[in-house]
Structure 1
Amino acid sequence: MRNHLSAAAAGILLLVGVSAAAAQDVIIQPEHETVIREYVKKKPMASISLLGVELNIGTALPETVELYEVPDVQYRYVIVDGRTVLVDPSTRKIVKVYD
C-alpha cells in the first residue's frame, strides 16, 4: 500500500512539474510572427557564435550579446549560428528559435 501511495505522489508531482513548465511557454501572436519574420529579412544582422550556449527556450543569453529591437514587438532578437533567436529583454531568456 505504501508503494502505491509513493507512486501516486510521484505521478502527481510529475504532472504538476509538466504543468508549470507549460505555463512558462510564450505564445507569440500570429501577426507578431509575421512582423518579426519580415523585419529580420529586411534588417539582417551578422550571425554570432556562442560556444557552450544551447539555443533552447528558457536559456539566458550572456549580457555581452547585443539584442536588436523589432518595432512594435516586446521581444528582441539576435542571429546565432544562422538562426533567429527571439529573447525577452528583461530576463535575456530565449522565448523562440526560428530555423
Structure 2
Amino acid sequence: MRMHFTAAAASFLLLAGVGVAAAQDVVIAPEQDTVIQEYVHKQPLASVEVPGVELSVGAALPDTVELREVPNVKYRYVVVHNRTVLVDPGTRKIIKVYN
C-alpha cells in the first residue's frame, strides 16, 4: 500500500511541475509578434509606475493596472516603467517584455 501511495505522490508532483513549467512557457508565433509590435507602436500608451513589480516573464501585475486589448490577439499590453509588456489577461502574468 505504501508503495502505491509513494508512486502516486511522485506522479502528482511530476505532473504539477510540468503544469507550472507549461504555464510559463508561452510561445508567440513570429507573425503574431509582428502584429502585436506594429499595433503597440501605432497605439502608444502612457507609462505607468508599479512599485514592487519586477518586469520579468512570469511576474503578475496587480488588478489596478489597466490592460489594453490588441485586436485578434488573446493577450493584452501595457507600458510599465517605460517598457511595453504583453500580459495574459486571465492570470495577469507577464508573458513578454519588449525593449
How high is the TM-score relative to the length of structure 1? Answer: 0.77
SS in 2 for 1:84: strand
Aligned ranges 1:1-80 → 2 under 5 Å: 20=18, 22-23=21-22, 24-80=24-80
State the alpha-carbon separation in 2 of the partners of residues 67 and 30 from structure 1. Answer: 22
Q: Is there any run of 5+ residues in structure 2 with no aligned partner, and where? A: 1-13
Total equivalences in the alignment: 82
- Residue 55 of structure 2 aligns with an amino acid whose one-letter code is L
State the alpha-carbon separation in 2 of the partners of residues 40 and 47 from structure 1. Answer: 13
- Residue 75 of structure 2 aligns with an amino acid whose one-letter code is Y
State the alpha-carbon separation in 2 of the partners of residues 67 and 22 from structure 1. Answer: 24
State the alpha-carbon separation in 2 of the partners of residues 50 and 43 from structure 1. Answer: 21
SS in 2 for 1:90: coil
CA drift of 1:56 comes to: 1.3
CA drift of 1:71 comes to: 0.5
Over residues 47-74 of structure 1, what are the superposed CA-to-partner deviations in whole Å (9 max), with x where a residue is unaligned?
1111110011111100000000000111
- Residue 88 of structure 1 aligns with an amino acid whose one-letter code is D
Q: Is there any run of 5+ residues in structure 1 with no aligned partner, and where? A: 1-15
More displaced, 21-30 or 85-94?
21-30
State the alpha-carbon separation in 2 of the partners of residues 60 and 28 from structure 1. Answer: 19
